[in-house]
Structure 1
Amino acid sequence: MSAQTQARRKTVRDIAKAKGDQPLVCLTAYDAAMAGILDPHCDVLLVGDSVGMVVHGLPSTVGVTMEMMILHGQAVMRGSQQAFVVVDMPFGSYETNSDQAFLNAARILQETGCQAVKIESGTYAATQIAHLTERGIPVMGHVGLRPQAINVDGGFRAKGRSQEEWSRVLDEAIAADQAGAFAIVVEGVAPELADQVTQSVKCPTIGIGASAGCDGQILVTDDLLGMFEWAPRFVKRYADLRSVIVKAAAEYAADVRGRKFPEAAQTYKLSKPSS
């Protein structure tokens, strides 16, 4: 596609302007082919560290590396044209100090060409977010259920069950917003808490297992497509691709074993060379 006809890629200003307006449509993407399919329909494509579980079969996101995120980020950038692309910073790449966070975030932007990074917003997040944004790196925050904290929480569990948790989630969201986050993912909280977060911050909120009142929504694309037998409670399956793939693979296997594939239509017709 020529430069003249290529779609304009959304910017951080486009995402920020969605506050209180038409909800942002966000999905995860990990490869060029899927990014190309999703791109016309999405405002944001997140190269999530969920790639560790979805693609690589890891038990959690803790084992995801910088190299994995960069590789998948590069693929998504190649496959997309107009969506705003955000790449997750993996566990251990930003928590120690602001300089560590900047060097790793800068590497992600430089090597993938993405528009922003996302960090899970613990109590340290405001310092890191301010440091990054002051140095030209847009940051998306993430409060509520934080998958990288699975070992502390003892599993994937919703947040805000106590007044202390409720207050912590709200405080962390406000701190991330004030530090300069251009958007905040709100995951695994009661709708009332998600709505309070949305009303308390200036930047857009993106819900996942939260509230329709958020400024946008995100799902793991493979969950939306029904690629797994199990999906979290908050997922609405819009397709059942697992069954489609199982059926196709079974039919292919039967054809191969019965010598029904390939047929004439799948072979080349070349004349035999003369002796």
Structure 2
Amino acid sequence: MAGRVAGKLALITGAAQGLGAAHARRLAEEGARVLCTDINGDGAAETAAAINSTHGDGTAYAITHDVTDPAAWQAAVDAAREQLGGLNVLVNNAGMGVAGNIETCDFADWQRCFSVNVDSIFHGCQKALPLMREHAPGSIINLSSIAGLIASDTMPAYNSSKAAVWMLTKSIALHCAKNNMGIRCNSIHPTFVDTPILDGTARHHSIDKGVLLEKLARQIPLKFVGEPNDIANAVVYLASDESRFMTGAEMKLDGGISAM
């Protein structure tokens, strides 16, 4: 199959819905074979089935995957070896947010936020790199957030965890480069994107989804909220050999917020 990532073998976490599902779809559209993983195994399977219905059986696979569990990561890497035949693109997309300022944030929630957002990348890269080295050149793509670069008084756990993803990405990139692995590592920093997360936000604040989108758009210089493919297109670029000279970098997909 022709495409910008033809022949690539990709594992995408958090692929049951939202950004993760969009990443998997776009990579498959551009020629990759994908392993969709999520703690919601049924949702990951639905993403894979939809991809296969469009691109043919054997394009996508799915497994249930708790990204906070090192043993589950080893199982995911083993699944990539068995089902895809290897691995050269790792998209660490799974993540979560936590409510509460520094006075009200529960410490257990803080720990869970770091476990899902940061520890998952530590475990994932540690488990995946041996297989990725066998199939280099490769690319690791870590989903951070513009909230990892710009702080808010209302979300210290999320700010801190996504900032950790940003710096962890650079350390991984330098390690891979120093050891001539042929594997790059970059982070993506989106702002508001219209995913099911915003549906939950609207319900939590008892506000109409359309009203919420308008409110969020007013905070963005470009005056609109992103769509999942706005982020997935960047994943395709970083997964492809088009970005072969890019490592340890951050892509800000924030509609201009960080320029203010």
Q: With structure 1 as the length reference, what TM-score do the two structures score?
A: 0.37
Q: With structure 2 as the length reference, what TM-score do the two structures score?
A: 0.39
Structure showing greater radius of gyration is 1
**Structure with higher helix content:** 2
